[in-house]
Structure 1
Amino acid sequence: MSIRPSLPSRIHGCLLGGALADALGNTVGSSTLQQAGRYSGSADPADFAVPAAAWFSDETQLCLYSVDGLLEALRWANDGVPADETACVWLAYLRWLRTQGVPLPESAPHPPEQWLDRQAVMQHRADPDEACLTGLASGDMGSQARPVNPQARGAGAVVRSAPFGLLPYVGAETVFKLSRDTAALTHGHPSAVYSAAALSLIVHHLVHDGGRLAEAAGAAMAHLEADASAEPEVLRMLADVRDLAAGEPLSPEQLTAEFGAGASAVEVLAIGLYSALAAEALGDEMVGGQTAGNETRGSAMSDDDPGQRFRRGIAVAINHDGQSDAAGSIAGNLLGARYGDQVVPSAWLEALQGREVIYTLADSLVDATFGP
């Protein structure tokens, strides 16, 4: 019988899993990770030759700045002072912008440098999302009513939203609103805003309800369906992903044909969510170490081996002709939140640059919510 992970384990797993998969996907995207072969239904994730040094990209940088902004709001709240969570996250993103070598306009606040800004891994520039740069460099705090980039629908909005689902003691509606508001700081298109909300809601249901990923995705979909303004494109994607993940595994070529190359937030969410759901569904078909009649799905796996599910899900997410880092980070966030930090392979983590920064922020988030 598998052990239900604690909330601190899920927080660590979500952040570490996302960063690790982002780093591996980033390396695949730059063609420096040598793989034994393209992933198919029967390939072994152990075939990946993990590099000696894997650097995560702007996806994880912004995700960690989301955490840092939340920590600022939590510190104010713990001192009895109400704070605007969205404004705190915006100020954190402005600090990220400075680490990318972009000067802040005079019209924008100039938040003081903090510990996270001084970490070398946060100053590493890896082709950051253009809408994130232009939206923050405008100096305006975008909102859903007045977005600074009303047509921006790229992945930069969704890859940083998982931490909003990690907050304890808040309801799904609060997570929903916070993730939409923070996405609109740089990306105004409804498909980007609601993709970000979908990811944070799935993470929220995973860490609070403790069920399966498929159930969390269904709960998030129901929440979006109850909102009259929800973007139909996102709802259609969630339904398609749910149905496809329950069927035969898709090849990399089929994955791209179904969901695109991850050029938009909704596409990259689809690839990351599909990869995580397919890994969970694959394990569900294994009983007592024997397959349920489908030998093409790979080696036997049970719910007592979630680490194998994590490795297989990441393999699917990063091995396709699209944004491997962004799709990988989403799959890693979801699988880490689902199974906890014990599923993140220690051998893979050894290659992750800046992992001590992630541990520090994850510990800080746990301490800010549960006490040291």
Structure 2
Amino acid sequence: MSIKPGPSAPALTSRIHGCLLGGALGDSLGYAVGKDPMEEIRRRFGGRGLTGFDALPESRFSDETQLTLYTVDGLVEALEWANSGVGADVNACLWLAYLRWLASQGEEAGPSAPAPQPRWIDRQGVLRQRRNPDEACISGLATGEMGTSVRPVNPGSKGCGTVVRSAPFGLIPHIAPEAVYKLSADAASLTHGHPAARQSSGIFSLLIHRLVSGEGLLDAVTAVTAHARTLNEVAPELPERLEAALQLAGKGVVTPEELTATLGEGRLAEEALAVALYAVLATLPKTGTDVTADGGTDTLPVRHFREAVARAVNHGGSSDSTGSVAGNILGAFYGEDCLPADWLESLEAPEAVRGMANLLAGVTSAEG
């Protein structure tokens, strides 16, 4: 049986805020350890690794939160046009949004690329800071060519830069699952061309869509894992990693060394998704567990979020990527109620994240 988020389902607005803020929190915790080997993480933070922001002098999120918010902005622009009765090419809106992010990083897209008009998001200074941006995202956008599913840019690139920005596609209500998948996979083609990168993004967005629609966590993960096997010309490493994540989670919590030996370090798209899935499932509260944890004030969703994100970032791989995806998943599932208050107090520029969440909620007519 798959655990449900609570006695009353979260409102869509809460899920949107939870997903975006949760991803930013996971990204920030993971970004603090970067790609340090596990030995160094243990040396700095103790045997359990980094488990919260209280051990850090400051908190900053990476380019992954930046690009997630620019994904939101591209979708918001397309939906604004649609709400006014004008059809818009969604992928073109996303490309223009990503080109504005590229310019914020001090990079040029070349003379053939359009010059997009600035929007609210471009005035948020924290999103203009360079935070170790994904090389394939930079190089793909810098071509000045709009990649498509037929002719993607960077055809051999399968890094995690696609998956980590793709949660917002699953937050759009009232569209068919196949449309969610296509929007996400097509957008991945703007920077990454390998089938595993594009398909991993689509499957991740489908998972978010199922969770936002009210499906249980384990049920949703199981369903998208099975669906991955049915994809046309599927990259076999994707369903293999997802199935391995389900099997590993069935063992409960394992060592970081066993985690990376089984699923990889999260640097590739399918690895980042698999590690995050393992983290949220291996820490899934058991049915009948007390409402609060260890006699403290944490509710079950908050405890689950803390434990899952800690598992997602302590492995010596691409910790910001896996932490971000895990945070997106649980935020979409539980809504804002799972986000630890003390972690939110440490989050960098929450007004930028909440601002974009409000814009998305507004154009989708989210309740709440």
Same fold (TM over 0.5): yes
Q: Is residue 38 of structure 1 aligned with residue 47 of structure 2?
A: yes
Deviation at 1:166, TM superposition (A): 0.4
Contact kept? 2:170, 2:180, Cα under 8 Å: yes
Query: Equivalents in 2 of 1:36, 1:185: separation in Å?
Result: 38
Distance 2:119 2:164 in 1: 22
Which of 218, 221, 243 does residue 217 from structure 1 map onto? 221
Map of 1:169 onto structure 2: 174
**Residue 240 in 1 paired to residue 241 in 2?**
no
- Pairing 1:77-96 to 2, within 5 Å after superposition: 77-96=82-101
Distance in 2 of aligned mates of 1:228 and 1:265: 18
Off by >6 Å, runs of 4+ in structure 1: 30-34
- 1:190 maps to a residue whose letter is P
Question: By how many angstroms is 1:299 displaced?
Answer: 5.7
The answer to whether structure 1 residue 284 and structure 2 residue 279 are counterparts is: no
Question: Which one of 270, 274, 278 corresponds to residue 274 of structure 2?
Answer: 270
Counterpart CA distance in 1 for 2:300 and 2:116 is 45
Q: CA deviation at 1:112?
A: 1.4
Deviation at 1:357? Answer: 0.6
Give the distance between the partners of 1:153 and 1:299, measured in 2 at CA.
41
Which segments of 5 or more consecutive residues in structure 1 lack a partner in the other structure? 291-297
Distance in 1 (CA, whole Å) between partners of 2:366 and 2:329 is 25
Q: Determine the C-alpha separation between the residues in 2 that align with 1:35 and 1:246.
A: 30
Among 13, 21, 33, the residue aligned to 1:16: 21
- Read off the aligned partner of 2:54 and give its amino acid letter: A
Instruction: Label 1:324 to 1:115 Cα distance change in 2 as closer, same or farther (>3 A).
Output: same
Residue 347 (str. 1) matches residue 351 (str. 2): no
Match of 2:119 among 114, 117, 137: 114
- The one-letter code of the counterpart of 2:23 is G
Query: Contact 1:104–1:139 (CA<8 Å) still a contact in 2?
Result: yes
User: For residues 135-284 of structure 1, what are the structure 2 equivalents within 5 Å?
Assistant: 135-208=140-213, 210-280=214-284, 283-284=285-286
The alignment covers a number of residue pairs equal to: 357
Q: Is the 8 A contact 1:24 1:50 kept in 2?
A: no
Cα pair 2:35 2:319 within 8 Å, conserved: no
Q: Alignment partner for residue 109 of structure 2, among 104, 111, 115?
A: 104
Q: 1:310: which partner in 2?
A: 305
Contact 1:166 1:207 in 2 (8 A): yes
Work out the CA distance in 2 between the residues paired with 1:6 and 1:60. Answer: 23
The answer on whether the counterparts of 1:180 and 1:194 sit within 8 Å (CA) in structure 2 is yes
Match of residue 58, structure 1, among 43, 56, 63: 63
Deviation at 1:20, TM superposition (A): 1.0
Equivalent AA in structure 2 for residue 37 of structure 1 = G
Aligned-partner residue type, residue 113 of structure 2: A
- Contact kept, 8 Å, 1:205 with 1:219, in 2: the verdict is no
C-alpha deviation, 1:289, in angstroms: 7.5
Q: CA deviation at 1:276?
A: 1.3
Partner of 2:72: 67
Distance in structure 2 (CA, Å) of the matches to 1:216 and 1:299: 28
* Per-residue deviation, 1:24: 1.2
Deviation at 1:37, TM superposition (A): 2.1
Q: Per the alignment, in what secondary structure is the counterpart of residue 106 of structure 2?
A: coil
Gaps of 5+ in 2: 1-5
Task: Output the CA distance in 1 between the equivalents of 2:339 and 2:319.
Answer: 18
Distance 1:289 1:6 in 2: 21
2:308 counterpart SS class: helix
| Helix, strand or coil at the partner of 2:283 | helix
Q: Which amino acid is the alignment partner of residue 148 of structure 2? A: S
TM-score scaled to structure 1, two decimals? 0.90
RMSD between aligned residues: 2.4
Q: TM (normalized to structure 2)? A: 0.91
